[in-house]
């Protein structure tokens, strides 16, 4: 990626959504929007957590279970094998590696105990499962890459949610390109100006609030306001060695772009 964001847009994706036959039953869940439309504009980074931890194809299906102590476990349906620690350890390692993969978005497979983003079934000792879980890999990914635009493939069938996700991906890509450079207050002002209509479409009040912070950064050589705006800055992160700063610095724009268009 160069300073203008003209490098490839890289999006992480659950491998089965690209047509890879990695599911427990040896099948796939190819998503036509991803492979037939979005794929023309982005570069995918495919990940299958269950294959990566050494489970075969085909394999036993897995489920999330709430144990007697209230802890969430990943359990094989037939054998009852507990894969929680294995998957959690893998998920932490893989999410850390993905942080270096230059991603601008991620599309997860819905309902999966590994990849599902929301409303994944959690089973108890008895009764009906409740649909309020998140897959173990998805949990680690979203925690680690907190500002990354993430969606489920099912939600991308909704035109509004799809448009919102694509908008966030492109904006995030451009913003990362800006902060990959030795950016200046002027460059920040130019970025903010270029995104005026996008920001105003989400919230005029927030656009004005961000504008004041950006203007303040121009007056302040040390860009202290930019630090406040972005939760950490390029040079500040390097000076302090604060590893969390790169994840935090985009927060204001991300929160704005995540809001649905009115
Ligand atoms: S949902 Fe995730 S773990 Fe399951 S097959 Fe697809 S990529 Fe693999």
Q: Where are the domains of the chain?
A: 9-157, 182-258
Mind listing the pLDDT tens digit for each residue in 46-59? 999 999 999 999 99
Mind listing the pLDDT tens digit for each residue in 198-250? 999 989 998 999 888 888 876 664 455 444 444 433 333 333 334 444 444 44
Whether ligand 1 lies within 6 angstroms of the CB of 18 is answered as no
Measured between alpha carbons, how far is 192 from 231 in angstroms, rounded to an integer? 16
- CA–centroid distance for 179 within its chain: 18
Whether ligand 1 lies within 6 angstroms of the CB of 74 is answered as no
Helix (H, G, I), strand (E, B), or coil: what is residue 72?
strand
Work out the number of other CB atoms within 10 angstroms of the CB of residue 150: 20
Which pLDDT band holds residue 125 (cuts at 50, 70, 90)? confident
Q: Which of 4, 233, 222, 256 has its CA nearest to residue 149?
A: 256
What Rg value do the Cα atoms of the chain yield, rounded?
A: 20
Q: Ligand 1: which of 17, 19, 23, 54 to mutate, judged by most atoms within 8 Å of the beta carbon?
A: 23
Ligand 1 atom 5: residue of nearest CA: 23
Whether ligand 1 lies within 6 angstroms of the CB of 115 is answered as yes
DSSP strands (E only) in 129-240: 130-133, 150-152
Task: Dig out the tokens for 6 from the structure.
Answer: 């003209």
DSSP strands (E only) in the chain: 9-14, 42-47, 62-66, 72-76, 103-108, 120-123, 130-133, 150-152
Over range 134-162, report the average pLDDT: 97
Over range 169-185, report the average pLDDT: 90
Tell whether the torsion through CA atoms of 39, 50, 76 and 73 is positive or negative.
Answer: negative
């Amino acid at each position: 990626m160069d300073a203008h964001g003209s490098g490839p847009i890289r999006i992480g994706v659950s491998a089965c959504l690209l047509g890879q036959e990695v599911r427990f039953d040896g099948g796939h869940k190819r998503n036509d929007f991803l492979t037939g439309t979005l794929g023309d504009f982005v570069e995918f980074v495919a990940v299958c957590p269950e294959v990566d931890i050494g489970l075969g194809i085909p394999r036993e299906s897995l489920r999330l279970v709430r144990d007697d102590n209230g802890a969430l476990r990943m359990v094989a349906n037939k054998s009852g094998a507990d894969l929680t620690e294995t998957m959690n350890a893998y998920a932490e390692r893989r999410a850390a590696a993905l942080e270096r993969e230059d991603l601008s978005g991620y599309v997860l497979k819905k309902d999966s105990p590994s990849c599902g983003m929301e409303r994944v079934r959690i089973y108890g000792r008895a009764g009906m499962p409740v649909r309020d879980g998140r897959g173990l890999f998805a949990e680690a990914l979203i925690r680690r890459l907190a500002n990354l635009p993430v969606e489920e493939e099912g939600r991308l069938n909704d035109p509004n949610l799809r448009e919102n996700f694509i908008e966030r991906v492109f904006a995030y890509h451009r913003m990362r390109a800006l902060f990959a450079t030795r950016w200046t207050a002027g460059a920040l002002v130019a970025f903010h100006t270029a995104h005026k209509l996008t920001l105003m479409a989400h919230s005029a009040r927030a656009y004005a609030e961000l504008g004041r912070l950006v203007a303040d950064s121009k007056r302040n050589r040390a860009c202290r306001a930019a630090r406040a705006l972005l939760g950490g800055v390029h040079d500040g992160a390097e000076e302090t060695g604060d590893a969390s700063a790169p994840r935090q610095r985009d927060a204001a724009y991300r929160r704005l772009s995540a809001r649905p268009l009115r």
